[in-house]
């Protein structure tokens, strides 16, 4: 069982460093995958809590951010946003560990700089912090399929990576049954160089395709070192 508190880095942050909401380009929509370093940690089982069906329209598309490295954008009609999460300015995804079961509470992965609490300092990792965030889980076309209520923030770190992992009150079984949403499975290995991927932004409602040139072993945020 997870206990609230602060744990020293690297912990799970090292095991999950380099996470991103990625899927292989051209992969089937019925079996999306997230290219990331996996973990054998499993979530706690729970009784099914039905997700909340949306009662408000989809927010308008935000303008794209500053130009970055060369990338190919995909139009919204061609993109697949299934399982991605819009977090009011941040993007994330409903993910499942390799050992997760359908009756586990769903996990939502995003960046630690999107955490609603105090940002952790280098070497500090808040775990199992109470959270009441509301997540908009998108369907294939980018509309809101369901809304999830967070139960807690399981793990938040800005040490060596930029990762936040939330646990919802809803199980994977309920999410698929009531919203038709299939979680993105975390891969056990890092993607190989040259792998064609698609990067999906639930916040911007855009999808980009690119090829992995190299793997970053560490990510520094806000001038953090460690």
Sequence-distant (6+) residues with CB within 8 A of 160 are: 9, 10, 13, 14, 17, 218, 219, 226
Q: Is position 26 within any domain?
A: yes
pTM score of the predicted model: 0.67
Q: Phi/psi class of residue 145: alpha, beta or left (left: φ > 0; alpha: ψ in -120 to 50)?
A: alpha
More confident residue, 6 or 104: 104
SS3 222: coil
Phi, psi of 159 (to 5 degrees): -100, 105
Q: Is position 59 within any domain?
A: no
Q: Is position 63 within any domain?
A: no
Sequence-distant (6+) residues with CB within 8 A of 125 are: 6, 7, 8, 9, 11, 12, 13, 155, 156, 157, 159
Q: Is position 46 within any domain?
A: no
Q: How far is CA 226 from CA 118, 129, 160, in A?
A: 18, 23, 6
The mean pLDDT of 27-48, rounded to a whole number, is 38
Structural domains counted in the chain: 1
Q: Is position 224 within any domain?
A: no
Q: Where are the alpha helices (H) located in 89-211, listed in sequence order?
A: 172-179
Q: Is position 114 within any domain?
A: yes
Q: Is position 66 within any domain?
A: no
What is the CA 101 to chain-centroid distance, rounded? 18
For the stretch 128-177, pLDDT in tens is 999 999 999 999 999 999 999 999 999 999 988 899 999 999 999 999 99
Q: What domain range is 29 assigned to?
A: 5-40+71-211
DSSP string, 78-123: T---TTEEE-SS-EEEEEE-TT--TTBEEEEEE-GGG-SSPPPPTT
The mean pLDDT of 109-117, rounded to a whole number, is 94
Q: Are 103 and 46 in contact (CB under 8 A)?
A: yes
Band (74; pLDDT cuts 50, 70, 90):
low
pLDDT at 8: 46
Q: Is position 125 within any domain?
A: yes
Band (58; pLDDT cuts 50, 70, 90):
very low
* Spatial separation of the C-alpha atoms in residues 168 and 134, rounded to whole Å: 9
Give the pairing of strands 184-185 and 91-96: parallel
Closest of 22, 14, 16, 7 to residue 199, by C-alpha: 22
């Amino acid at each position: 069982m997870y206990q609230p508190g602060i744990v020293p880095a690297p912990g799970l942050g090292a095991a999950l460093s380099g996470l991103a909401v990625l899927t292989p380009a051209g992969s089937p929509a019925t079996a999306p995958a997230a290219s990331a370093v996996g973990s054998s940690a499993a979530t706690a089982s729970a009784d099914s809590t039905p997700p909340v069906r949306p009662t408000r329209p989809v927010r308008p598309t935000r303008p794209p951010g500053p130009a970055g490295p060369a990338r190919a954008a995909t139009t919204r009609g061609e993109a697949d946003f299934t399982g991605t999460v819009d977090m009011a300015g941040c993007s994330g995804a409903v993910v499942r560990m390799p050992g997760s079961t359908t009756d586990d509470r769903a996990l939502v992965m995003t960046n630690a700089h999107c955490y609603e609490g105090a940002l952790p300092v280098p070497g500090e990792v808040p775990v199992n912090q109470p959270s009441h965030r509301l997540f908009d889980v998108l369907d294939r076309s980018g509309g809101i399929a369901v809304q999830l209520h967070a139960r807690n923030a399981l793990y938040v770190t800005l040490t060596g990576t930029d990762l936040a992992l939330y646990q919802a009150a809803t199980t994977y079984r309920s999410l698929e049954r009531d919203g038709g949403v299939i979680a993105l499975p975390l891969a056990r290995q890092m993607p190989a160089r040259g792998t064609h991927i698609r990067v999906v932004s639930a916040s911007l409602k855009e999808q980009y395709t690119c090829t992995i040139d190299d793997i970053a072993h560490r990510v520094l945020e806000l001038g953090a070192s460690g």
